[in-house]
């Protein structure tokens, strides 16, 4: 069974596979084109693992993974377009430059119930909006990914997510941002468009992501990303 499924928005399947190999984590890589799939296993030296990672190049491979992977507990890492991942119930992962520590944490997470893929139909206009609309979340991600050291970057990301999800006060968030030279830029981005995004997330928690995205004219991806990330910190 699939115990966790991540939709990966940065890097490539090869990069992620290489990082897993460098961490000595055994895993599989799938690449399907039509009815044909290429599948290979790479074995690390890390010993017994709580789950078996599978790296996939598109979301449709989730429905075929059990044809190739004979493991009881699978963690799926799915690479696909932003539109495809946003349109699903995958937990979004948008790693910064340093993937190693984040990946080690992700490999230990699992959902309460086995994962089952769910998709929502998108119109042509939805795809155009997703591809072309500027995103304050993307600008925030670019800013916090520049923060060093990694421990501070991780904390900055956490306080921004919790602030936008109304789980943390602005004063508490600012105390963390004071420790990085990128704090002023992040505060400026939040002051410009952050309140709208924060309101949209609050509405999504009470009603639905689609309703909030339509009401505030915000990409559903941004709301889904924040709600998915929130689960890591709550």
Q: Give per-residue pLDDT as tens, 177-232.
A: 999 999 999 999 999 889 999 999 999 999 998 899 889 988 787 888 888 888 87
Query: Mean of the pLDDT values across residues 96-106?
Result: 75
* Band (171; pLDDT cuts 50, 70, 90): very high
The per-residue pLDDT for 181 is 93
pLDDT score of 122 = 61
Percent pLDDT > 70 in the chain is 93
**Given this model, what pLDDT does residue 58 score?**
92
Residue 100 pLDDT > 90: no
Q: pTM here?
A: 0.65
Residue 135 pLDDT: 75
Q: Report pLDDT for 133.
A: 58
Q: Work out the pLDDT band at 99, boundaries 50, 70, 90.
A: confident
| 128-170 pLDDT per residue, tens | 555 555 678 888 888 888 888 888 998 999 999 999 999 999 9
Domain coordinates of the chain in residue numbers? 2-106, 133-233
87, 209 in Cβ contact below 8 A? Answer: no
- Please state, rounded to an integer, the average pLDDT across all residues of the chain: 87
Query: Do 30 and 65 touch, CB atoms closer than 8 A?
Result: yes
Give the strand pairing for 27-33 and 36-42: antiparallel
Least confident of 62-71, 82-91, 93-102, 198-207: 93-102
At residue 37, the pLDDT reads 87
Contact 186, 173 (CB under 8 A): no
**CB-CB neighbours of 196 under 10 Å:** 13
The backbone torsions φ and ψ at residue 116, rounded to the nearest 5 degrees and listed phi first, read -135, 125
Q: Strand 2-8 vs strand 36-42: parallel, antiparallel, or unpaired? A: unpaired
In this prediction, residue 156 carries a pLDDT of 94
- Residue pair 5/62 in contact by the 8 Å Cβ criterion: yes
């Amino acid at each position: 069974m699939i115990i966790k499924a991540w939709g990966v928005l940065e890097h490539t399947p090869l990069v992620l596979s290489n990082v897993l190999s460098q961490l000595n984590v055994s895993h599989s890589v799938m690449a399907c084109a039509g009815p044909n799939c290429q599948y290979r296993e790479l074995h690390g030296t890390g010993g017994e693992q709580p789950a078996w990672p599978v790296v996939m190049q598109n979301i449709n491979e989730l429905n075929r993974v059990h044809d190739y992977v004979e493991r009881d507990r699978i963690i799926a890492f799915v690479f696909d377009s932003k539109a495809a991942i946003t349109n699903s119930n995958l937990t979004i992962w948008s790693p910064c430059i340093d993937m190693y520590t984040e990946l080690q944490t992700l490999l230990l997470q699992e959902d309460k119930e086995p994962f089952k893929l769910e998709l929502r139909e998108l119109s042509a206009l939805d795809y155009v909006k997703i591809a072309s609309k500027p995103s304050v979340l993307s600008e925030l991600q670019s800013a916090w990914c520049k923060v060093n050291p990694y421990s501070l970057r991780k904390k900055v990301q956490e306080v921004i997510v919790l602030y936008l999800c109304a789980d943390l006060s602005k004063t508490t968030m600012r105390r963390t941002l004071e420790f990085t030279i990128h704090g002023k830029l992040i505060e400026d981005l939040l002051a410009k468009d952050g309140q709208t995004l924060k309101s949209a997330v609050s509405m999504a928690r009470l009603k639905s992501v689609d309703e909030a995205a339509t009401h505030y004219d915000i990409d559903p991806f941004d709301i889904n990303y924040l709600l998915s990330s929130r689960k890591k910190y709550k």
